Amino acid sequence: MNQWSGQIGTPVDVELLEEAALAMAQSTIQNAINEAGISKADLARKMERPRSYVSLMLSGRHNLTIKTMSRALAACGFEIRFQHAPIVWGWRSKVVAQPEVQQPADAGTTMPVVVQTTGIVVPAWTLQVGA
């Protein structure tokens, strides 16, 4: 984990912030594609790039530049708007239990199935006090 002194005594994982920013950029482009009602092939043509370039750009294996993101959004009829926000840490693990689901058994009866997901990391501010 990289150490960063943005807040005194608080370690910051810069790599995590970079990956989160990349994921947000990719989802912004995907949302623009969806809102514009165009296909990835259409986006590639408008960007004057091969279709494989758009797939790579949205795959997470490509480090997007601001120029590439701007070109992709412009092809969808949008522009980039940047803003900054303070780094907020305080993530906690929370176990999320799903309600029982009735699934048919082989003999024509139903059996309860409990689906439980564990180890989900959520921001502390999403956890309700006393929950």
Q: Do 102 and 110 contact (CB within 8 A), yes or no? A: yes
pLDDT confidence of residue 48 = 95
State pLDDT tens for residues 26-64. Answer: 999 999 999 999 999 999 999 999 999 999 999 988 889
Q: Other CB atoms closer than 10 Å to residue 70's CB: what's the count? A: 14
The widest CA-to-CA distance across the chain, in whole angstroms, is 63
CA dist., res. 113 & res. 105, Å (int) = 11
What's the confidence (pLDDT) of residue 90?
61
Token pair 């594609």: residue = 33
Query: 9: left (phi > 0), else alpha (psi -120 to 50), else beta?
Result: left
Q: Which CATH class is domain 1-89?
A: mainly alpha
> Per residue in 78-122, pLDDT tens?
999 999 888 876 655 555 566 665 555 555 555 444 444 444 444
Q: What does pTM read for this prediction?
A: 0.60
- Residue ranges of the domains in the chain? 1-89, 91-126
